[in-house]
Amino acid sequence: MAQKAWFKLDNAAKLYPAISTNRWMSTFRMSAQLHESIQPEVLQKALDDTLPRFPSLNVRLRAGIFWYYLEQAPGKLQVRQDEGHPCMPFSKKRDGSFLLRVFYFRNRISAEFFHVLTDGTGGLCFLKTLTVRYLQLLGHDVCADQGALDVADAPKDEETLDAFHNIPLPDVRLSRKEEDAWHFPGTKEISHTLNVIAASMPAAPLLEKAHEMNVTFTEYMVSLMLLVAYESQKESGKRPRPIRVSVPVNMRSFYGINTMRNFSSFLNPGIDPRLGEYSLEEICHCVHAFMAHYCTRKHLSGIIATNVAEEKPLLIRLAPLFIKNWAIASVFRNAGDRQFTSTFSNVGKTPFPTGSEKLIRRFEFLLGVPYDPLCNCACIACGDEVRITFSSNIRETTLPRKLLCRLVEMGIPVEVESNYQEES
Amino acid sequence: MAYCVHCGVRLGEGEKACPLCHTVSVDPAEKKVPSPERAYPTHTPEQLLVRSKRYFLTLFAILLVLPALLCIVIDLLIGGSISWSVYAFSALILMYVTIAVPIWIDKKKPYFALVTGYVCLMLYLIMVENVSQSGSWFFPIVLPCMTLGTLMCLLLVRLYRHQVLGKFTMAGACTGAVGILCLLIELLISVSFGSIALLWSPYVFAPCLFVALLIFFINGNRAIREEIRRRVHF
**Distance between CA atoms of B18 and B3, rounded to whole angstroms?**
8
CB contacts, 8 Å: A421 with chain B = 42, 44
How many other C-beta atoms are found inside a 10 Å radius of the C-beta of residue B228?
A: 16
The pLDDT value given to residue A171: 87
Please judge whether A415 and B42 are an interchain contact, meaning their C-beta atoms are less than 8 angstroms apart. Answer: no
The pLDDT value given to residue A31: 96
The ipTM estimated for the assembled molecules is 0.79
Among chain B residues, the shortest Cα distance to A194 is held by B45
Domain A195-418 sits in CATH 3.40.190.10: no
- Do the two domains A6-158 and A195-418 of this chain adopt the same fold? yes
CB contacts, 8 Å: B8 with chain A = 405, 408-409, 414
| Per-residue model confidence as pLDDT tens digits over B59-110 | 888 999 999 999 999 999 988 888 888 888 889 988 888 888 877 775 667 8
The pLDDT value given to residue A227: 96
Beta-carbon-side half-sphere exposure of residue A218 (alpha carbons within 13 Å): 24
The pLDDT value given to residue B43: 60
The pLDDT value given to residue A424: 46
**A113-127, B44-58, B158-172: lowest mean pLDDT where?**
B44-58
Domain ranges of chain A: 6-158, 195-418
The pLDDT value given to residue A2: 45
B41 lies within 8 A of chain A by CB: yes
State percent of chain A over pLDDT 90. Answer: 69
A106 lies within 8 A of chain B by CB: yes
**Distance between CA atoms of A110 and A100, rounded to whole angstroms?**
10
Provide φ and ψ at A281, rounded to 5°: -60, -45
E strands present in A150-254: 195-202, 243-250
In the predicted structure, residue B42 carries a pLDDT above the cut 70: no
Mean pLDDT value of segment B21-46: 69
**DSSP-based three-state secondary structure for B211:** helix
Q: How many helices (H) and strands (E) does chain A have?
A: 12, 16
| Per-residue model confidence as pLDDT tens digits over B196-215 | 788 899 999 999 999 999 98
Q: In this structure, which topology does domain A6-158 adopt according to CATH?
A: Chloramphenicol Acetyltransferase (3.30.559)
pTM score, whole prediction? 0.69
The pLDDT value given to residue B227: 63
Residues of chain A with pLDDT under 50: 1-4, 424
B229 lies within 8 A of chain A by CB: no
